[in-house]
């Protein structure tokens, strides 16, 4: 019960990586607020959290909508009066074409979800995180935010900006005992990537990379959540099997 008595917020927590992290934190004793756009999915996750003996709350939210993000944090303050861990997991790539062949509206949507969603929730959660004796922000990044690649510029740019935001916030918040770090999962099989990856197979273009399941991120997510105030901040922790920096 490494997280007993703490409150965690996981965005994009209705499925995939977010669901795995939310349930893992609940098993370690944390109360968990699960946020996503699909009510049915977040309700199902919080039912599992409650069955584990922790308190789960499900909230429907569009992370690219600043007022939605504010409403979630206001609800957390009302229900718990505290927040210790924020996992900015909501994101995804929607535009896998070259610039000039892409849809500008979809390109912008990728930026809004991945970057602005991370910024909105981080900014809104700061007052509660500063009240914690050990606040932690964990951003789910990507190796594509560290290396250029053709045909997915919106996602590359969004995740590159998330990595820069991670480092900037780590420098701004360390005196408030808030650590800000990034996890690079490497390729993970989820509903969003099932058209690209196959379960149990290697990456189609990178033979060194094994395609992970969402639960494979649990150890690193718990490691960062249980770090003490003098632990790492401004760091990128990669599960990739290739250089990403």
Residues labelled as active-site residues? 155
Contact, 11 vs 68, CB < 8 A? no
Nearest to 233 by CA among 184, 180, 183, 161: 180
Asked whether the beta carbons of 63 and 70 are under 8 A apart, the reply is no
Strand partners, 60: 36
Cβ atoms of 23 and 49 closer than 8 Å: yes
CB contact burial 169-202 (16+ within 10 A = b; e otherwise): bbeebeeebbbbbbbbbbbbbbebeeeebeeeee
Tell me how far apart the alpha carbons of residues 175 and 177 are, in angstroms, rounded to a whole number: 5
């Amino acid at each position: 019960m490494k997280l007993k008595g703490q409150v965690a917020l996981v965005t994009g927590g209705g499925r995939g990586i977010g669901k795995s992290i939310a349930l893992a934190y609940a098993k370690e004793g944390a109360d968990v607020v699960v946020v996503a756009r699909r009510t049915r999915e977040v309700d199902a996750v919080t039912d599992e959290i409650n069955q584990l003996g922790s308190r789960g709350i499900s909230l429907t939210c569009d992370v690219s909508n600043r007022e939605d993000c504010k409403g979630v944090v206001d609800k957390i303050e009302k229900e718990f009066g505290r927040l210790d861990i924020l996992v900015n997991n909501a994101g995804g790539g929607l535009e896998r074409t070259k610039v000039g062949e892409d849809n500008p509206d979809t390109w912008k949507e990728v930026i809004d979800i991945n970057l602005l969603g991370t910024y909105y929730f981080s900014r809104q959660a700061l007052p509660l995180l500063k009240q914690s004796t050990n606040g932690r922000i964990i951003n789910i990044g990507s190796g594509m935010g560290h290396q250029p690649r053709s045909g997915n510029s919106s996602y590359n740019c969004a995740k590159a900006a998330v990595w820069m935001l991670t480092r900037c916030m780590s420098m701004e918040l360390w005196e408030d005992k808030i650590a800000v770090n990034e996890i690079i999962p490497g390729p993970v099989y989820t509903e969003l990537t099932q058209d690209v990856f196959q379960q149990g197979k290697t990456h189609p273009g990178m033979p060194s990379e094994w395609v992970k399941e969402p639960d494979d991120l649990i150890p690193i997510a718990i490691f960062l959540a249980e770090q003490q105030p003098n632990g790492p901040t401004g760091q990128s922790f990669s599960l990739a099997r290739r250089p990403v920096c």
